Amino acid sequence: MSRRGGTAHPAAPAPQTGPGAASGSRSLARSGLRPGFMLVGILIIAANLRAPITVVGPLIAPVRDSLDLSPAAASILIALPVFCFAVLSPTAPWLGRRLGLERALLAALVALAVGILGRSLPSSLSLWLGTALIGSALAIVNVLLPSLVKREFPRSPGRITGVYSAVQSGTAAVASAIAVPIAGATGDGWRLSFGIWTGLALIAIGVFLPVLRHAGPIRAEASRTPGDARGLWRSPLVWHLTIFNGLQALLYYTVLTWWPTIERLSGVGASEAGLHQGVLQVVSIVSSLGAGWVLQRGGDDARPAVWAFGLPGPVGLVGQILFPGLGLLWVILLGFGIGGTFVVVTSLFSIRSANPAQTARLSSFALTCGYTLAALGPVSAGALASLSGTWLTVLLGLTALQIVQLCFGLLSGRPGSVDVR
């Protein structure tokens, strides 16, 4: 397979730079510690991916009251990180080439810590700027983390992706569960509940620093030239992955935003609806681990995993329409499908690409388009429910999109690879 600017074996470690870096890297490789260092680094980064976002939903009411935000402004605040994902994902491969994967990820973690802290300061402006900085930092991480997995664990990207997805889902569940109790336990309220996640970002920075000592730049074999961009646009497989990713993200963020409202309108109490959100996160942890195992057994053919985790979503949506009294069952199915499908599509970025640099370009392209859909999902769902006067139209629309997602997932899951010249 041809590449611009040279070639590199996907499993080869990145070149080292700086005095003593080569000998340090050889020492780390000889000791067998590099995989462990990298795995710990990947997992601690993953723990930061969702908690700063999921903590906002449970606290949006006190935030609105404190800062006198309109409902429209509150909706934009919730959607702002996802819009940042869409806008800034294309910059991540360039940053990875300029700084190297590890350094780019570390810079994003520093930005994340600053954003979380800024968001908790007593200022309306700092709330908006901090939220935008959080979204910008996570946009970089979302694109480059699959590249790091591709480079360090080329033989088991699905399994590693499943593990780090389980970690991020677990942390998100904890963030959702403790947000309100922490906000109500002190006079600082929601600001403290937002700000405590700065600590997790700082821990990630501390844990990742030893990895940085042995870091090197990403190889330049896949520099982002106009020809490369045209190649992405022309590849059917790239579009299959992009639509697959976009529709799974749309369902996740729509459910995260509106499912408690949908359940409460069907007669479920507020506390029970909140409990169901926690159940959804916990089930997604289990399905994330299961998806990694199914992908590993399937080899290059990911279609069994697509079937296994693509069907529960539409079944859960139809179940909510027909038998809303069995809400817990439908939440379990939705969580199973959402968690597993996320792992499948994220793993396919690595499985379908030839090297870490191509993984970065592929994930950047897919995430840019996908998160645009994801950002529009909750807004469109709320508008459709308002216009129609019922959430039935939203549920029917989501069901139809889930069927489309399954079709594009099956196309993405066929054996093959992206050939971007």
pLDDT (tens digit, 9 = 90+) per residue, 107-154? 999 999 999 999 999 888 999 999 999 999 999 999 999 888 988 888
Confidence of residue 354 (pLDDT cuts 50, 70, 90): confident
Cα–Cα distances in angstroms (integers) from residue 64 to residues 52, 57, 124, 337, in the given order: 18, 11, 11, 32
Give the pTM.
0.77
Contact 139, 368 (CB under 8 A): no
Nearest to 418 by CA among 372, 371, 363: 363
Residue 32 backbone zone (phi > 0: left; psi -120 to 50: alpha; other: beta): left
d(CA 352, CA 241): 10
Which structure tokens are listed for 72?
Answer: 């429209």
3-state secondary structure the chain: CCCCCCCCCCCCCCCCCCCCHHHHHHHHHHHCCHHHHHHHHHHHHHCCCCHHHHCCHHHHHHHHHHHCCCHHHHHHHHHHHHHHHHHHCCHHHHHHHHHCHHHHHHHHHHHHHHHHHHHCCCCHHHHHHHHHHHHHHHHHHHHHHHHHHHHHCCCCHHHHHHHHHHHHHHHHHHHHHHHHHHHHHCCCCHHHHHHCHHHHHHHHHHHHHHHHCCCCCCCHHHCCCHHHHHHHHHCHHHHHHHHHHHHHHHHHHHHHHHHHHHHHHCCCCHHHHHHHHHHHHHHHHHHHHHHHHHHHHHCCCCHHHHHHHHCHHHHHHHHHHHCHHHHHHHHHHHHHHHHHHHHHHHHHHHHCCCCHHHHHHHHHHHHHHHHHHHHHHHHHHHHHHHHHCCCHHHHHHHHHHHHHHHHHHHHHHCCCCCCCC
What pLDDT score does 32 carry? 58
Amino acid identity for residue 99 in this structure: L
CB 77 within 8 A of CB 131: yes
Is the backbone of residue 390 left (phi > 0), alpha (psi -120 to 50) or beta?
beta
CA–CA separation, 397 and 296 (whole Å): 33
* Band (417; pLDDT cuts 50, 70, 90): confident
pLDDT at 25 over 50: no
- 301-338 residue pLDDT tens: 999 999 999 999 999 999 999 999 999 999 999 999 99
> Please, what is the average pLDDT of the chain?
83
What's the CA angle centered on 304, arms 300 and 308, to 5 degrees? 140
Within 13 Å and on the Cβ side, how many CA atoms surround 318? 10
pLDDT on residue 101 = 87
Range scoring the smallest mean pLDDT among 135-144, 189-198, 356-365: 356-365
| pLDDT (0 to 100) of residue 184 | 80
Task: State both tokens at 216.
Answer: 């090197």
Question: Domains in the chain and their CATH numbers?
Answer: 30-413 (1.20.1250.20)
How large a percentage of the chain has pLDDT more than 70? 85
The predicted-structure confidence for 38-74, as pLDDT tens digits, reads as follows 888 899 999 999 899 888 877 877 888 888 888 778 7
Max distance between CA atoms of the chain, in angstroms, equals 67
Give CA torsion, residues 64, 67, 71, 74, to 10 deg. -80
